Amino acid sequence: MDEKHEDALLTLQHAGIAKTPQRLGVLNIFLAAKTPLSLSTIKKRLAAKVRFDKVTLYRILSLFKNLGIIREVTSRNGVNYFEIATKDNPVHPHFNCLNCGMLTCMEPLTFSQSRQLISPKEDYHVDHIEISITGLCAGCRDATKLQKRKN
C-alpha cells in the first residue's frame, strides 16, 4: 500500500469526513508538494488521477481550509495558493519570484523575531502574521545576467 495514500486516509478519518477519491486525490497532491500550489496546478494534477468537476475542487479546498488541513498563502498576483498545514509545517514566510512566479517556502520565524514585528502600542488581537518576500529567484537572476551580457 502506498505510504502517502495511508497518510491521506488517516487525515480524512481524523477529520471525520467521507473518504472520497477526489478528496484523497487532492490530499495526496498536497502531501507530495514541496511548495504552495496554485489552483490551476492542483486542477491539472488532479485531472491526471480522477474525474472531477471544478465545483468539487472548490468545495474540497474550502472544506480542507476550514478544517485546518490546508492553509491559504496569499500572493501578489491575486492567485491563491495552498499548502498542507501539519504540525511539522508551521506558518512561515514565502518567497515569490517576480519573474517566474514561483513560490518557495522559507524558514519559520523564531518567537523573538515575530515579536519584533508588532508595535506594542497597537491594541489589536493578532491572529497570525504573514510575511511574503518578492524578488528574483536564483534561476531567474542568473537568466537575467545572461540576458544582460547578450545585450
Partner DNA sequence: ATACTTATTGCAACTTGGTTGCATTTTTGA
Partner DNA sequence: TCAAAAATGCAACCAAGTTGCAATAAGTAT
Q: Which DSSP helix (H) or strand (E) runs through 29?
A: helix 21-32
Residue nearest to Mn ion (CB): 105
**Partner whose binding site includes residue 100, from a copy of itself, Mn ion, Zn ion, none (CB under 5 to 8 Å by kind):** Zn ion
Residue from 99, 113, 116, 134 binding Zn ion (CB under 5 A): 99
Q: For a copy of itself, which residue of 34, 87, 125, 149 counts as binding (CB under 8 A)?
A: 125
Picked from Mn ion, DNA, a copy of itself, none, the partner binding residue 83 (CB below 5 to 8 A depending on kind) is Mn ion
Sign of CA dihedral 113, 109, 73, 70: negative
Q: Note whether 10 binds a copy of itself by CB under 8 A.
A: no
33 grid coordinates: 508538494
∠ Cα 16 19 24 (to 5°): 115
